[in-house]
Amino acid sequence: MIGLGKRGEGVMNCAEFQKVLPYIIETGGNTEEERHLRECLVCSDLVEDLKYIVEQAKLLVPMEDPSPRVWEEIKASLEREGRIKRARLKGRLLGPIPWIGALGAIILVAFAAFLVERGRQQQASASVENTTPPLQTISLNTVPTEQDDEQLLQQVAASRPSSASAYQSNLDQVNASIADAKRTLEQNPDDEDARQSLIRAYQQKALLYELAAQ
Amino acid sequence: MTQQKKTIASGLSEADAIERAKQGDAESFAGLYALHKRRVYSLCLRMTGNTAEAEDLTQEAFLQLYRKIVTFRGESAFSTWLHRLAVNVVLMRLRKKGLPEVSLEESLEPQQEDGPRKDIGARDNMLAGSIDRLNLERAIESLPPGYRIIFVLHDIEGYEHNEIAEMMGCSIGNSKSQLHKARMKLRDLLKPSRAERAAKRA
Amino acid sequence: MAGRQKMSNTSRSVTLGLLAALALAATASAADKKEFRYTVARGATISVVNDYGSVRLRASGVSQVVVSATPSSSKVEVDAAQNGNRVEVRTHFLRKTGENDGRVEYDLQVPADANVMIRTASGPVQVRGVGGDVSVDADTGQVDVRDSNGHVRVRTVGGPITLNNLKDGFVEATSVGGPVMLNNVAGRVVSVNTTGGAIVYSGDFGGGGQYSLTSHSGNIDVSLSASASVDLTARTVTGTVENDFPLQAPVHPIMALSQGKSFAGTSNAGASAVRLRTFSGRIRVKKSH
């Protein structure tokens, strides 16, 4: 009877298989273990379930931010320790959610989250053995291309069709604002306001990627 | 002054932000926090299952990061370094609270319920297609701490067994066996009960 | 005057739109209404994830979370659970469904000190009287947060944001294309950012906070009460600026001023730092009545 392998010469039973399972599930077993898995529906169901759990666990991207109070506490501690200078003069706004101060980093954090999510979705059907942590593989020196924008829109269209047109029009708007600010900055490289506008435009694009990835 | 701003604004990479943070630049600290806070917080939350504690640990992890950032030499990716540091902060806290992690072998010896399934021979409904994120998060949260930590580290955070063994002070085999028990426990937790199945059919 | 009329109309249309959406939600069949109750400790966190349909949340005086949910069809169900001091509510699609079949209308009462996190795609969100941290993310849904004194963070793709009677906390409102309306919003740090959305502020900017209202191409309209104590700077790159509010010229200007593109000045003690910026949008500051 399948599922109740008989103990005996050269035949592995379920209890024996499940005893070695922790050690072979990620590497594959020997011939005998593989044969038991092929022939036993109970154990193959079990292995499928465990693989499914592993796949689902990989889809658990970080969803929540800590309270803004956490950063306030950190900042206060760092100031007390003299590791950072106290907040600047009024008029210079660091912001409640820390202003990142870096164009590249701003856009990339959201873009990385987007890629991670996409990468994980693509891996959802991969086997247990193929467990690559995607975050480390992302280049932190890339900015989204037109192709990435297209993929973002496709992802939104698939997951939240009613939001697709809003993402399309707002992405167009953000890209236009980036082009606007870049043009002005090229004409006048010392225009600090245009530079700030460009940073903010990238921040807005980052927001779109971040919201799309949720 | 203008020149310095240009350099920051025109493309400060994570590496630049790290170097600036070493010099005490507040905006770079803030930038690094913004980049990594969600993943660090999520790690702490999943390992502890407690919002307030997770926030406290996130704070502690970043404070340690900033205190130690001058020692970061780029041997590994910054995110790898930071997450390892965060894991250590959490494990240290759990140690202080007396929760199991170092003496894993003794404290988490398989209990009867975690051994080979008693219903060997009986097929059950399979899980495929039935888990949603909330259910899975909830099931992970209800795992015993020792199981939960290893599951989070291996299956969510992507650590290898040898790394986990090193961090937890246990053997690689023990890490594998605990992970397996965690997955088995999750399988039990995620299987709808007969009553639930009947209710769904009704 | 014309500007004021236009500003009021924008604000009113957003408010009416939100009310209409919430009213529509209220007319949904109550036959399938479900209710969940959870007792929580101080500082509980309540998270709601609902793509379609409204989320209306208000603070109550008791330490209980009450969730009323009305699904629009049998294709959706409500998944609610308490884990420690956290209550999670999520709309769960049983099968592939669209905006009509996938709607769930939520009405929640939470303790006044609760922290709230809401994620929606197109559903309108209203949060009232919550003293903890409020975080709302939406695609096109309208978001209205009022009568709160905690930290408030609202982000939308195109959904309009309305903030009313907020004080003491940190406020961050970001929308790519939606307008942001702020009425009597004061706090230690208030930051508003849009790409194309208009920003409308009326109030007195509190007494000592930092305010930054920024839009790329949207207009910024500020109506200041005469008692406002501000140190204000306004600047646009290619748009225009107009000021009808009596400001005293700064003694030590922190930026070079150019006619029609920027202005700066203080009013009363200049307690709050107010920074208005656009790339191509018009900035207008005037006295409120």
How do residues B23-71 score in pLDDT, each as one tens digit? 777 788 888 888 889 889 999 998 888 888 899 999 999 998 988 887 8
Mark yes or no for CB contact C84/B50 under 8 Å.
yes
Residue of C nearest to B139 (CA): C83
Domains of chain C by residue range: 2-29+45-57+109-287
**Please, which residues have CB within 8 angstroms of residue B201's CB and are 6 or more apart in sequence?**
none
Q: Does B65 touch chain A (CB under 8 A)?
A: no
Mutating which of C67, C90, C113, C189 best tests the B interface, going by the most B Cβ atoms within 10 A?
C90
In the DSSP assignment, the letter for residue A11 is B
The answer to whether the Cβ–Cβ distance between C193 and A200 falls below 8 Å is yes
- Cα–Cα dist C67/C80, whole Å: 9
Comparing A64-68, A105-109, C180-184, C283-287, the range with the smallest average pLDDT is: A105-109
> Poorest-confidence range of B104-108, C26-30, C38-42, C179-183?
B104-108
Of B107 and B129, more confident: B129
* Smallest Cα distance from A31 to chain B, Å: 21
Residue B176 has pLDDT above 70, yes or no: yes
For the segment C119-129, the average pLDDT, to the nearest whole number, is 94
How many other CB atoms are found less than 10 A from the CB of residue A27?
A: 9
Specify the pLDDT at position C208.
Answer: 85
Query: Hey, is B118 helix, strand or coil?
Result: coil
Q: Does B175 lie at the interface with A, CB-CB under 8 angstroms?
A: no
C15 touches chain A (CB under 8 A): no
Helix, strand, or coil here: A9? Answer: coil
Is residue C88 over pLDDT 90?
A: no
User: Could you read off the pLDDT of A49-104 as tens digits, one per residue?
Assistant: 888 888 888 877 777 788 888 988 888 888 777 666 544 323 232 333 333 334 44
Q: Is the pLDDT of residue B140 over 80?
A: yes
pLDDT at C255: 59
A192 inside 8 A of chain B by CB: yes
Q: List all residues of chain A from 65 to 94 with a beta carbon under 8 Å from chain C.
A: 65, 67-69, 90-91, 93-94
**C45 vs B51, B132, B137: nearest CB:** B51
Query: What's the mean pLDDT in C143-150?
Result: 93
Question: Is pLDDT at C80 greater than 70 in this prediction?
Answer: yes
The answer to whether residues B178 and B104 touch, using CB atoms and an 8 Å cutoff, is yes
Q: What is residue B13's predicted lDDT score, i.e. its pLDDT?
A: 75
User: Residue B9: which of A69, A103, A133 has the nearest Cβ?
Assistant: A103
Residues 36-65 of A with CB under 8 A from B: 41-42, 45-46, 48-50, 52-54, 56-60, 62-65
Q: Angle between the A146-159 and A164-187 helix axes, to the nearest 10 degrees?
A: 160
Half-sphere exposure in the Cβ direction for C283 (13 Å, CA): 28
Q: Residue A137 corresponds to which amino acid?
A: T
Residue C195 scores a pLDDT above 50: yes
Nearest CA in chain B to C90: B134
Residue C173's pLDDT band, with cuts at 50, 70 and 90, is: very high
Residue B84 touches chain A, beta carbons under 8 Å: no
* CB-CB under 8 Å, B134 with C84: no
A-chain residue closest to B76, CA distance:
A136
Shortest Cα–Cα distance, B51 to chain A (Å):
9
Q: Which domains does chain B have, with CATH numbers?
A: 13-96 (1.10.1740.10), 104-194 (1.10.10.10)
Q: What is the pLDDT of residue A107?
A: 58
Span C162-185, mean pLDDT? 93
Q: Average of pLDDT values for B12-32?
A: 81
- Predicted pLDDT at B50: 83
B181 or B20: which carries more pLDDT confidence? Answer: B181
DSSP state of C248: B
A20-24, C56-60, C96-100: range with lowest mean pLDDT: C96-100
The dihedrals phi and psi of C118, each to the nearest 5 degrees, come to: -130, 135
Whether residue B37 and residue A70 make contact (CB cut-off 8 A), yes or no, is yes
pLDDT means over runs of 10, chain A (214 residues)? 40 81 76 83 86 84 81 84 51 31 50 54 40 30 72 85 91 92 85 83 86 80
To the nearest whole Å, the CA of A1 is away from the closest chain B CA by: 9
Classified as helix, coil or strand, C93 is strand
When the pLDDT of each residue in chain B is averaged and rounded to a whole number, the result is: 75
C200-205, long-range: CB < 8 A, 24+ apart: C200/C7, C200/C10, C200/C11, C202/C288, C204/C228, C204/C229, C205/C229, C205/C230, C205/C272, C205/C274
Q: Cβ separation of B51 and C84 shorter than 8 Å?
A: yes
Minimal Cα–Cα distance from A164 to chain B, Å? 23
Q: Which of A17-21, B166-170, C24-28, C244-248 has the lowest mean pLDDT?
A: C24-28
Percent of chain C at pLDDT > 70 equals: 86
CA distance C114 to C134: 9
Out of A162, A196, A214, whose CB is closest to C122?
A: A162
CB contact under 8 A, C279 and A97: no
Q: Which of A40-49, C2-11, C164-173, C192-201 has the lowest mean pLDDT?
A: C2-11
pLDDT tens-digit series, residues C247-278: 988 765 555 667 778 999 999 988 999 999 99
- Hey, are the CB atoms on A62 and B38 less than 8 Å from each other? yes
Lowest-pLDDT range, A181-190, B180-189, C142-151? A181-190
* Complex prediction ipTM: 0.83
CB contact under 8 A, C189 and A93: yes
Residues of C in contact with A193 (CB under 8 A): 235-237, 277, 279
Name subunits touching B (3+ CB pairs < 8 A): A, C
Residue C75 DSSP SS3? coil
Confidence band for B146, pLDDT divided at 50, 70 and 90: confident
**Residue C31: its pLDDT value, please?**
45
